[in-house]
Structure 1
């Protein structure tokens, strides 16, 4: 039984102990908060996609195999724009930029740009590998024009490193591999350290003439971290202000405003501090989900506690007695709601992606800490102060005010129209269910984050430029026999595969050994464009590569290993959405296996990791949400004493997910890594109100024996608390609507929609279902009005006042 006299007595006894040991409780939490604050500086930030996967994940193993052969597949890139790239000043600055990046960026390997690249030419001894642009850059305009003509005549340069109109150039800084988990002196991931340093160099005044725009995963990671750290703080501060205003209006007491916010902040400090001591790292873009979960739960628990406390205080004037009453009435419902909410959040552990697991564990930890603080520390703090008779200007209030009477009248209306309510619910369910089938599981940085975020707008511009790219990934082919890459049939199959890859919608350009071999073939044939093609024989290919290496060429070894049995193809993308990328990667992998049945085919790189991760998250979250529903249903059924009660109680908890999923489908909002976390979060929040409603309705029924009267008493006693809690949470999430990030705007809108749906389902559908199914048993009288008496509901034992 959820709320019984037995549980009431247990929590009443707990309240007595808390009041007897008030200073010990305060000392305990003071030490705990101090411990947490000391651990906060130890928290590390990590946005590296390499660390998303578990240690035994196939994608992670494929990535490790790639790095053993070719090293790091990440890079820092800069798009340069000028009226003429082959201007002496522009070329000088491009070279200076490349050298600054190579010299100062951690783990820099080598720069590839029009000013720092291999350029092959034929000479009397075979092939000479040098540079197109001399050092220093000549100031002779006719010479530069000749170099421009020579450079743009080569397919390896035109449209790849320099646009065909010579107005854009692509500067690529390759990176050396670094140890997994390596961090800088601030505890941040090495990708962030690399990105921050690269950005500081690119933004120097001496490079302004280049109009540089930085890209590459380390840069994106640094930009993302900087933006979300700032935006998170802004949203949290604004949220605190909005929450304080709404709480002040709702509770009309300064204590009611301060205590819930302070409790939430302290819980956050403790949980994040403990994670800091444990060496846990987090992705800053995922922080808001557990933080706001903790804030919302703190507000909900505190409002229920405050309502009972102040009602009893105004009735008796006894502060400590009011504390005991509040703890006794709310203790078990709060404990059970905390348990079910944590159960729903722990389902995140079914997703084999570290940031999602961190989100679930952290949110569950915050719920547990909030419950502990609201259930113990908050009552202790409320016990200090004078009784009501010593507070001037206060009038002892009646148990029910205008708002409670309005809600009581609403309950009567609900119970009179069960068929209309169920019919309306059924129609909405069908409409929203149809919307769910329209849901698209996809991540698109523009749709998810939005172009109002400066760094997103910048990398989008880079992606849509003539030579720049948004992301990249790598295809790795591994043959059993040495020298296979020199075989003509292998090279021609590779050429076929690359031609097909270049035609894919998201692919912008590919890089491999093929352009180098074709360029060498053209060079030895006096630069004749007709010979920009693959050699006819294995011997010719081997001879070209030997001449190239003897001439000092090194670029080819970035695309094959020394045994010539491993081959790398880098794919740069000008656009990205996870659904399209998933289809393209699957197609390439399948086609590669078809063309090269004798080779092992592997994928690596940021896009491959993120696309696989997005797929894991989508499937895992849907599975975890289903598991969370099962866990909560079983817990509900166990505590309420029947599986039927558990299933009935889950109907209002499915309503938020149904509303959110349906609206997302009909409005074209994609289901991505951020929006997919909303449904489990809403389940955790909505289950709180359902438990409070059903537990108090059941207690009222036990005392009254009438469904209609028990619903009226439930609406009167906790209906206002449920409404207030929902309004405060909606107001709390409404601050997201002021963000420039679409992900936050969607989060705010969808959460508000879900909370509203949960409140309406609890207030309309649940009462009707409870009566229709006789969930609490048979009524003891057919006439509700006989049981309703002026002082409360008569049970035959005592009159209950202030059921909550």
Structure 2
């Protein structure tokens, strides 16, 4: 205990240097927060690098391309004019040259299979010489449904990004640069897809984090007004509550650690924890001055802080242990939250006592007379004690009912992974729904089907089995417009009948191809 009082006295002795250091650290942290603030809600934060499912996903991306696809919808005012499709083709050429884009696809560059006397060949739906082959758009509907809506008044462009590992360093540039190229060709359009939804959720997280911080500060200030013995302590308390958050976020963003939808709760956690500690410290110090003051400013501060450190230390250690347990989670998002919540609580505990020691010194060793009117902490505690003593059985009964209701509520809890729930109303949501309505479902994903025996998947028997599987998914309402080799085979079988009548040998050749 003697050592603790010595530490507090040393803090007061070096107060000017400590204040200068804190001012410098806070200034640096605010600059880092303003310039390096990052938010990441991408898929990677929910998987460990050695997770087998995640590794399979990355392998699939390398072989088949990324599943991160941006969908651009351009309104067709009159008809599919060559000028419109030429603009789309020029846009695709620009976008395809970007380092984070693998390829793009639209009606301007799409090809369809057709049968000639030479066999199966690919032909452009649009060409400068003959314009748009509208007959093929209707005939090859399994393909064209992805490129233009059924009313033919919305043209769709798909932009496939490069594999995740190759584009992470460009993540913040992807959407702005693609928008820049689109704006140079079109004014009226809608843009969506998983990268846009991720960006929308990131912005929502940033907005919600700032909102939570402001609301927490307001409530903290209100509570401090009632819970502190003297209003002069309010600025000191606010500094002790706010500084740990600023320093922690400065450290996080300085190390390049982005915020995610779980770690966004850290500011509120630290503020509530800091409120609890600073209220204890100030009230115990004020009580010490009233009951057993030594008459010496520095000694009173050291003794008063020493009296409060044991209960605050135990609550800090238990809280830190709870958050540090998140480090052992398999999810990177939870691990990051656990580590930095642990560090933040450590910052908060240390700064509460450093700021209190220096603040008490400058405020003076005697508080102003206590307010006789109003809701002080002592009066609140006394009122709670009187109420609980007068109605113990009723309190127990109501508590049991609430516990039972809580247990029932937990049993009905449902987990939702709908990404739209993380996006606030605005352009991201409205454009998503607009494209979804035009395309009869915006979500695109790939199903990789392999033979258990490792056999060739292009044999007629295997393709027939895949067709049965595909049709069953459609029948159950899980898919709307699937595209696979099955569709191409059925299309070619139907289109080939007109050729087989004139050239019977062509049938066997087409089947082989």
Query: TM-score by structure 2 length?
Result: 0.84
Pick from 173, 176, 195: which aligns with 1:193?
173
Alignment of 1:661-672 (within 5 A): none
Unaligned runs of 5+ in 2: 501-505
In the alignment, what sits opposite 1:500?
Answer: 472
Give the secondary-structure state (helix, strand or coil) at the position aligned to 1:473: coil
Pick from 44, 49, 62: which aligns with 2:43?
49
In the alignment, what sits opposite 1:298?
Answer: 274
Does the 8 A contact of 2:47 with 2:330 survive in 1? yes
In the alignment, what sits opposite 2:302?
Answer: 324
Structure 1 residue 454: Cα displacement = 3.3
In the alignment, what sits opposite 1:224?
Answer: 201
Give the secondary-structure state (helix, strand or coil) at the position aligned to 1:472: coil
Unaligned runs of 5+ in 1: 1-6, 139-143, 185-189, 529-534, 545-804
Change (3 A) 1:527 1:37: farther
Change (3 A) 1:368 1:130: same
In the alignment, what sits opposite 1:163?
Answer: 149
Partners of 1:467 and 1:92 in 2: how far apart?
26
Give the secondary-structure state (helix, strand or coil) at the position aligned to 2:173: helix
Does the 8 A contact of 1:196 with 1:222 survive in 2? no
In the alignment, what sits opposite 1:135?
Answer: 128
In the alignment, what sits opposite 1:475?
Answer: 447
Alignment of 1:481-492 (within 5 A): 484-492=456-464
Change (3 A) 1:463 1:343: farther
1:149 aligns with 2:149: no
Pick from 360, 368, 374: which aligns with 2:346?
368
Alignment of 1:8-157 (within 5 A): 11-12=4-5, 14-23=7-16, 25-26=18-19, 29=22, 33=26, 45-84=39-78, 86-88=80-82, 90-103=84-97, 105-135=98-128, 138=131, 147-157=133-143
1:420 aligns with 2:400: no
Partners of 1:258 and 1:371 in 2: how far apart?
18
Alignment of 1:637-656 (within 5 A): none
Change (3 A) 1:477 1:162: same
Structure 1 residue 440: Cα displacement = 0.7
Give the secondary-structure state (helix, strand or coil) at the position aligned to 1:116: coil
Alignment of 1:399-798 (within 5 A): 404-405=378-379, 407-446=381-420, 448-449=421-422, 452-469=425-442, 471-479=443-451, 484-526=456-498, 540-541=510-511, 543-544=512-513
Structure 1 residue 166: Cα displacement = 1.2
Structure 1 residue 522: Cα displacement = 3.6
Structure 1 residue 287: Cα displacement = 4.1
Change (3 A) 1:268 1:303: same
The C-alpha deviation readout for 1:704-734, integer Å capped at 9, x for no partner, is xxxxxxxxxxxxxxxxxxxxxxxxxxxxxxx
Structure 1 residue 423: Cα displacement = 2.0
Does the 8 A contact of 1:213 with 1:458 survive in 2? yes
In the alignment, what sits opposite 1:177?
Answer: 163
In the alignment, what sits opposite 1:346?
Answer: 324
Change (3 A) 1:460 1:307: farther
Change (3 A) 1:332 1:124: same
1:383 aligns with 2:361: yes
The C-alpha deviation readout for 1:538-589, integer Å capped at 9, x for no partner, is x754x33xxxxxxxxxxxxxxxxxxxxxxxxxxxxxxxxxxxxxxxxxxxxx
Does the 8 A contact of 1:111 with 1:171 survive in 2? yes
Change (3 A) 1:526 1:320: farther
Query: TM-score by structure 1 length?
Result: 0.56
Partners of 1:321 and 1:179 in 2: how far apart?
59
The C-alpha deviation readout for 1:22-67, integer Å capped at 9, x for no partner, is 4465466567657756865566543321343112212112113213
Structure 1 residue 458: Cα displacement = 2.5
Give the secondary-structure state (helix, strand or coil) at the position aligned to 2:338: helix
Using CA pairs under 8 Å that are at least 6 residues apart, name the structure with larger relative contact order, 1 or 2. 2
Partners of 2:180 and 2:204 in 1: how far apart?
15
Does the 8 A contact of 1:161 with 1:467 survive in 2? no
Structure 1 residue 296: Cα displacement = 1.6
- How many corresponding residue pairs? 505
Task: After superposing the two structures, state which structure 1 stretch, 127-136 or 112-121, moved more.
Answer: 127-136
The C-alpha deviation readout for 1:666-698, integer Å capped at 9, x for no partner, is xxxxxxxxxxxxxxxxxxxxxxxxxxxxxxxxx
Partners of 1:374 and 1:30 in 2: how far apart?
16
Does the 8 A contact of 2:25 with 2:247 survive in 1? yes
